[in-house]
Chains A and B, each alone.
Chain A
Amino acid sequence: MYIIIVGGGKVGYYLTRTVLNEGHEVTLIEFDPGKAAKLAEEFGEIVLAGDGSRIRVLEEAGCSRADVVVAVTGEDEDNLIISQLASQRFKVRRVIARVNNPRNQHIFSVLGVAATVSSTSIIARMIEREVATQEMHTILSFERGDLDLVELDLKPLSPAARKHVRDIALPEGCLLVTVIRGGKVVVPKGQTVLREGDRILALIPQDKYGELEKTLLGDRG
């Protein structure tokens, strides 16, 4: 794959090293000439000194044939414009933007940059999960973290134990995917009765951890 990384700060530096090790072709664009020269000492000619939010610089980097463009500068406005140029003008299929201020994630998505990564929100979310739920575990995150696959075990006192699936009022957007009972998979239907010891896999929006835990496992303490 051909990957263009814009921004040679810490994130850009380690990202470049990582994807180079994986055998990808990379161009790293860095605005600051001094920084660019330093990066070139390690990475060689794949470093391009220039403003990655300018069309001619992206052209020079061969943006039209890039498979992925990653905008990881320290400034959200720069990452937005770089991403918009890459996807709208150069028709790059996969564009990923770093968002420094998590509040900007919404703005990016409305302005057509859907794939954003905010380390602040990722860490905040991890802390939230750790604090909120000790009985539910995240197995997988989809949709860049908006949707999670979680697992939990029903206890004897869980409000959902001995209930029909159809009688359980799941929080909005939650879906029971499967029930594992005695090592076997039970596909949950309306008439399925949940039992203590059932391991439940559910798809949930990331803001529903608390609600789902309350519905299936009850209040803690």
Chain B
Amino acid sequence: MRIIIVGASKVGSQLAVSMAGDNHEVAVVDKNPESFHRLGKDFPGRLVHGTGIDEGVLEEAGIREADAVVAVTNNVNANLMIVQIARVIYKVPRVATMLPYDDPLEQFSRRLGIKIVSLPRLGARAIERCIKEVPEKCI
């Protein structure tokens, strides 16, 4: 799978390393080149310096051929803009982002076929499971 990850944030870099380890073709975009250090020295994917809300930058990262685009910068609205550009303009089949709050914002983004991970829900569910069911599976 060809995947573009916008934002070498903590989540973004971990995802990038993990996907690249699974032999996926990964390109990471970040407007701050210093963030790329989180990927480690041996990261096999491509690094693209630039802002993810710019079509030129996304094209340089290969969005025209991408199978998936993930927006995980530290800027919520930029993430929402990036996933919409990917889905609506470039028709990327799989597009995902995450939200640090549980606003009904999901509703309108879901209409476009954008997957949104809600951090409060995800965290609450994971913790609940830790406590109730399978404590050994807690990370």
Which A residues have a C-beta under 8 Å from some C-beta of B? 53-56, 75-78, 80-81, 84-85, 88-89, 101, 103-104, 107, 110-111
Q: Name the distance in Å between A50's Cβ and chain B's nearest Cβ.
A: 13
The reply to whether B103 and A56 contact each other, CB–CB distance below 8 Å, is yes
The reply to whether A55 and B103 contact each other, CB–CB distance below 8 Å, is yes
Q: Name the distance in Å between B81's Cβ and chain A's nearest Cβ.
A: 4
Contacts of A85 in B (CB 8 A): 105, 108
The reply to whether A89 and B89 contact each other, CB–CB distance below 8 Å, is no
B54 contacts the other chain (CB 8 A)? yes
The reply to whether A107 and B104 contact each other, CB–CB distance below 8 Å, is no
Contacts of B97 in A (CB 8 A): none
Q: How far is the CA of A37 from the CA of B54 in the complex (A)?
A: 34
Q: Of B20-28, B72-80, B121-129, which stretch is located at the interface? A: B72-80
The reply to whether A88 and B88 contact each other, CB–CB distance below 8 Å, is no
Q: Identify A77's interface contact among B80, B103, B107, B108, CB under 8 A.
A: B80
Contacts of A103 in B (CB 8 A): 54-56
The reply to whether A107 and B85 contact each other, CB–CB distance below 8 Å, is yes
Contacts of B88 in A (CB 8 A): 110-111
B47 contacts the other chain (CB 8 A)? no
B53 contacts the other chain (CB 8 A)? yes
Contacts of B56 in A (CB 8 A): 103
Most chain A beta carbons < 10 A, residue from B54, B77, B89:
B77
Q: A76-B53, A107-B55 are in contact. Are A53 and B108 (CB under 8 A)?
A: no
